[in-house]
Chains A and B, each alone.
Chain A
């Protein structure tokens, strides 16, 4: 499976540098290494959820309890979580660090992923959620830290879109 192990490790190290202690995740191909790293790390609480909506609640709870968290999801998972993003995170000013694998965008061969790819950024913009694209390995640490910093300062969700160039080695 040509998911980049090296870049997954960079992302995981960056999350650790952000003091993330709880990661909620629903498996998706591009996230396999990240989820395994979280599972193998005794300092990390990995919550394997049944649907991405739960991740928004878990991160909201973690924030109110004073613990940094992150949500790992595919962009179709972001689509599934829009109601709680609106009616919990935005309504109650909850910071969220959402790492979203950006399926269905440039280079996508699977037709079934493409509609999610075409709608992800317009919907994030409609929700006024700031977007960082992560395509360059050298940007990973800085951009994840800056995304978390903004989320915590603005008490607002932020989206980090994990690009094919970063995650997939063809």
Chain B
């Protein structure tokens, strides 16, 4: 499965929720599908999109928060799975696209290419719902199920190590940051 197709399949289901993505291909592909002020693209600090999502989920318990993570990022902060599982915010959905590679920096293989099993790690950490979904349709069904479940869910989706031709986004980092904070303020008020 191509990640771009996977994102397209879940876009209608996540568009109204708080979304935090990692940097690189994921950010550019989601942005290209249609930027919204409730989307935040963490363009550095690898591994921390899930920690940010946890902070938002705890601060805004009445809203759904979707983190779009990757294998390279998650491997840099595996402890995040144990922390998320410890608090189990039911409004947090953690989607991990596993392309078994550090695509944005030369395509070198990550440890998932040699057998590290992120879904298995999530289960072993105590994440209450862990799903593997490797087609766009299966992913969309899993996302809908997770959002309806009010249970912390990690979905791991294997994708091809293919990214967009350009990572350019016409969105300065701070513009995204302030837009996003305003969008969250409106969600809190609404």
Those of A55-80 within 8 Å (CB) of chain B = 55-67, 69
Are A66 and B54 within 8 A (Cβ)?
A: no
User: Which residues of chain B have C-beta atoms less than 8 A from A91's C-beta?
Assistant: 43-45, 173
Interface centre among B45, B56, B87, B180, by most chain A C-beta atoms within 10 angstroms, is: B45
Stretch in A27-35, A43-51, A160-168 with 4+ CB within 8 Å of B: A43-51
Question: B97 at the A/B interface (Cβ < 8 Å)?
Answer: no
**Nearest opposing residue in chain B for A67, CB measure:** B59
Instruction: Give B residues with C-beta under 8 Å from A.
Output: 20, 40, 42-45, 47-60, 77, 79-80, 82-83, 86-87, 173-174, 177, 180-181, 184-185, 188
Stretch in A7-15, A81-89, A98-106, A128-136 with 4+ CB within 8 Å of B: A81-89
| Residues A93 and B54 in contact in the complex (CB < 8 Å), given A22-B59, A47-B87, A64-B40 | no
A-B CB contact pairs (8 Å), 30 listed: A45-B58, A47-B83, A48-B83, A49-B79, A50-B80, A53-B48, A53-B77, A54-B77, A54-B83, A55-B51, A57-B48, A57-B54, A58-B51, A58-B52, A59-B55, A60-B52, A61-B52, A61-B55, A61-B57, A61-B58, A62-B56, A62-B58, A64-B184, A65-B55, A65-B59, A66-B185, A69-B55, A87-B44, A88-B52, A91-B45
5 nearest A-B residue pairs (beta carbon): A61-B55, A57-B51, A50-B79, A65-B59, A57-B48
User: Which residues of chain B have C-beta atoms less than 8 A from A63's C-beta?
Assistant: 181
Question: A143 at the A/B interface (Cβ < 8 Å)?
Answer: no
